Structure 1
Amino acid sequence: MIDEYPLVTVIVPCYNHEKFISESILSVLNQEYRRIELIVIDDGSNDQSIDIILKLKEQFDFIFISQENKGISNVLNKGLAMAKGEYIAFLASDDYWLPNKVFSQIAFFRNHPEFKMVFSNAYIVDNKSKIIGQFQNNFSIPFPVVSFKDIALGKKTVPALTVMVHKEVFLSIGGFDENLMIEDWDMWLRIADRYHIGGVNDVLACYRKHNSNISLIRLEDMTKTRFRILGKWQNKINQRLYNKISRNLEILAMSELGNNPLLKEYIRPTFQKMLNSRYRRLFFKYYF
C-alpha cells in the first residue's frame, strides 16, 4: 500500500490530432491515481485541436499552452521547465493510457526506490482504438533491470507513452536534444547510462498506429538521426558494443531505405558485421 501520493506531472504535446486529443487528455484525467498535474502544449496545430482542448479545459483543471510550431523536443522541454511533480510522464496526443497506468508506476517506484525510470508494455491500436498488436517486452521478476545495452541494441523496446521518470533525472542530465527528430531514444540512452531503469510486464497504455505510409524523406532523416545519436557514444562506450549498435543501425537502414544512395554514407561492412546473416543478406541485396 502506498503511504504517500507524490505529485505526477503529465506532459501532453499536441500537433494536429483533432481526432484523438480528447481521448488522450481524458485518459489522463480519468486515472485512478488523482495527484496529477496535466500540462497540454499545442505546437502550432492548424486543425480543430485547440478548440477541442479549450472545451475540455472549461470542464477540467489543467494547464494549456498554445505556441507556434517549434518541434516535439521544444514542447517537452517547455513542459519539463514548468513541471512541479516529483515524477514526470509523457503522452502523445494520439495515444492514451489505461486507468491504472500512473498508480501502477508509482507503486513500482515505492517498491523499488533505486530505480529512477520505469516503463511498461503497450497495446497498438488503430484509428478506432481497436487493438491490432502489442509492444511486448519480457522483464525479469522480481528485479526488472533494463540496461543501456538492452536499449541501445533494441533488446528492449521503450514505448515513450509508457515512461515515467523521477524529475531529479532531468535536473541532472538536462532536457531533450532539440536538434534531433528521434528525441526519445537519445534520452533513454542518456538516462540508462547514469541511472537504473526498470520495466514492468503490465500493459498500461495504447499506442496509436495510423498514417503508416512514412515518406522516404522522413526515413532518410530518421536514418541520419540514429547515426548522429550513435556518434555521441563513440568515445564513451567500449568499441565492441559500439560496433554492435552500428551493425544494428546499418541493418535497419538497409531494411528501410533499400538501395537508396544515402546508404553509402553509413554502411561500413566489416568481417564481424558480415558474420551476422541478416546483415550479410541485406548488404548483398541492396548495397550493390
Structure 2
Amino acid sequence: MKQNIYTPLVSIVIPVYNGANYMREAIDSALAQTYKNIEIIVVNDGSKDNGETEAIALSYGDKIRYFYKENGGCGSALNCGIKNMQGEYFSWLSHDDVYLPNKIEHQVNILSKLDNKNTIVYCGYELIDKKSRSLYFIKLDQRYSKNKLNISLFPLLHGLIHGCTLLIPSKFFQKIGLFDESLKYTQDYDLWFKLFRVAPVYFDHEVLIKSRLHSAQTTNAALNQLEEYEILWSGFLKKLTKEEMIEIEGSTNQFLSNIAAFLKKNRYMKSYKLALSMAEQKVIAGFWVFIITEIISSLREHGINTTITKIYRWIRKNINKH
C-alpha cells in the first residue's frame, strides 16, 4: 500500500529593510531547506541602501519571488508577503536570522502526525551574535512542562514566542486578519494574541532557528517601544476572559499574580499596576461573595434577628481594629 505523505506548500516570507549585511545568509538558509515544497518570498520594504538589498535579492533569480514596496514597517512587509503567498502554511524568516536546514521538514512532519492540521507549531531557538557565533540556546521545555507549552495562550503571555519559530496555517489570516501596520514594535505579539485565542498550538523541543542579536536601539526608540508594549500588555489584560485565565494558570488569582511578576520583571510598570489592580478587585469581589453567602446561610439557620446581631458585632469588631 502506498504511504500517504503530507506535503503542503509552505511559504517562507522574508521582510527586509537595508538588509545587505545579513540577508544572503537568511535566503541561503531558506533555499537549503530539506523540505522542498516551499516558495521563498522576499519583500523589500523600501530599503535606502543605494540598491544593495535589491541587488542581492535579484541575484537569486527565479529561486525566490521578489517584491518591492514603499517603506511601511515590518508589519506591512509581512502583509505584502502574506497577500502574495500561495502556500497552505506561513513561515516568517527575518532577514538577519537563519533557519536550520530541517526547520520546515521537521514542523511539517509534526503536522502530518496531528489530527488537526490547522495547528500552529513552534519551537525553541538559538541566539547568535552579529558574526553568527553562538551565544546561548532558548529551550523552553527546560523551564516549563510541555503540557503548559501546549496551552495556546500560555507561551505568548510568558513572552516565550519568537515569531520566526512559528509555522502557521494560512487560513487563519482570513479569519483574524493581518498584522496591524500602525504598530512599529508590537505588530507580531498583537497578531499572535488574536491568533492564539482561536488556534491550537503544538510545542516541539527541537531548536530550529538562529536568531541574531546586534546593534542596540536609540534611547528615543527604546522609550517609544516601551510605551507601545505597555499598551499591548494592558490590552491583553483587559481582553482576556476569566475562562482563559483559568486555563492558563488554574485560577484567575494565580494568573494575575504570575503575569504581574512577569510585567514587573520586564519593567512594564503601567501594565504591572493594572494587573495588581485587577487582582485586588478579584479579592474584593470574592470577599463580598463570601459575606453575602454567610448572611444567606445565617438567615436560613438562625433567622433575621440573630443575623442582624451577628453583623452588628462583626462591624463593631472590625471598626475597633482600625
- TM-score interval (norm. to shorter): 0.7 to 0.9
Q: Deviations over 1:84-128 (max 9, x none)?
A: 101110000011101100000001111123352111111111122
Q: Does 1:252 align with 2:252?
A: no
Q: Secondary structure of the residue that 2:48 maps to in structure 1?
A: coil
If the length of structure 2 is used for normalisation, what is the TM-score?
A: 0.73
Contact 1:22 1:52 in 2 (8 A): yes
**Deviation of 1:215 (Å):** 2.1
One-letter identity of the residue aligned with 2:205 = N
Q: Secondary structure of the residue that 1:232 maps to in structure 2?
A: helix
Classify 1:266/1:3 alpha carbon distance in 2 versus 1 (closer, same or farther; 3 Å).
closer
Contact 1:247 1:273 in 2 (8 A): no
Q: Does 1:222 align with 2:219?
A: no
One-letter identity of the residue aligned with 1:182 = T
Q: What is the distance in 2 between the residues matched to 1:210 and 1:162?
A: 19
**Which residues in structure 2 correspond to 1:127-276 (within 5 Å)?**
127-138=130-141, 140=145, 145-154=150-159, 157-180=160-183, 181-211=185-215, 213-233=216-236, 234-238=238-242, 240=253, 241=255, 244-245=258-259, 248-253=262-267, 268=273, 270=276
Q: Deviations over 1:162-186 (max 9, x none)?
A: 1110011111111111122211112
Q: What is the distance in 1 between the residues matched to 2:257 and 2:241?
A: 10
Q: What is the distance in 2 between the residues matched to 1:205 and 1:266?
A: 31
One-letter identity of the residue aligned with 2:103 = K
Q: What is the distance in 2 between the residues matched to 1:243 and 1:227?
A: 17
Q: Which moved more, 1:133-142 or 1:178-187?
A: 133-142
Q: What is the distance in 1 between the residues matched to 2:277 and 2:89?
A: 45
Q: Indicate the residue corresponding to 1:104 in structure 2.
A: 106
Q: Secondary structure of the residue that 1:268 maps to in structure 2?
A: helix
**Deviation of 1:150 (Å):** 3.2
Q: Indicate the residue corresponding to 2:46 in structure 1.
A: 44
Q: Which has the higher helix share?
A: 2
Q: Which moved more, 1:133-142 or 1:45-54?
A: 133-142
Q: Deviations over 1:232-279 (max 9, x none)?
A: 33044236446753553343126xxxxxxxx6x6663848989xxxxx
If the length of structure 1 is used for normalisation, what is the TM-score?
A: 0.81
Q: Deviations over 1:142-174 (max 9, x none)?
A: 9961431332133xx111111110011111111
One-letter identity of the residue aligned with 2:46 = G
Q: Which has the higher strand share?
A: 1
One-letter identity of the residue aligned with 2:14 = V
Q: Indicate the residue corresponding to 1:260 in structure 2.
A: none
One-letter identity of the residue aligned with 2:212 = R
One-letter identity of the residue aligned with 1:210 = H
- List alignment gaps of at least 5 residues for structure 2: 243-251, 281-322
Q: Indicate the residue corresponding to 1:123 in structure 2.
A: 126
Contact 2:124 2:204 in 1 (8 A): yes
Q: What is the distance in 1 between the residues matched to 2:136 and 2:264?
A: 26
Q: What is the distance in 2 between the residues matched to 1:141 and 1:246?
A: 23
Contact 1:27 1:99 in 2 (8 A): yes
Contact 2:126 2:134 in 1 (8 A): yes
- List alignment gaps of at least 5 residues for structure 1: 255-262, 275-288
Classify 1:80/1:271 alpha carbon distance in 2 versus 1 (closer, same or farther; 3 Å).
closer
Q: Deviations over 1:163-211 (max 9, x none)?
A: 1100111111111111222111122222221111111110111111111
Classify 1:272/1:188 alpha carbon distance in 2 versus 1 (closer, same or farther; 3 Å).
closer
**Deviation of 1:61 (Å):** 2.4
Contact 1:135 1:159 in 2 (8 A): no
Q: Deviations over 1:19-71 (max 9, x none)?
A: 111110111111101111111001111221111111122xx422101122111
Q: Secondary structure of the residue that 1:253 maps to in structure 2?
A: coil
Q: Indicate the percent of aligned positions where both proteins have the same amino acid.
A: 24
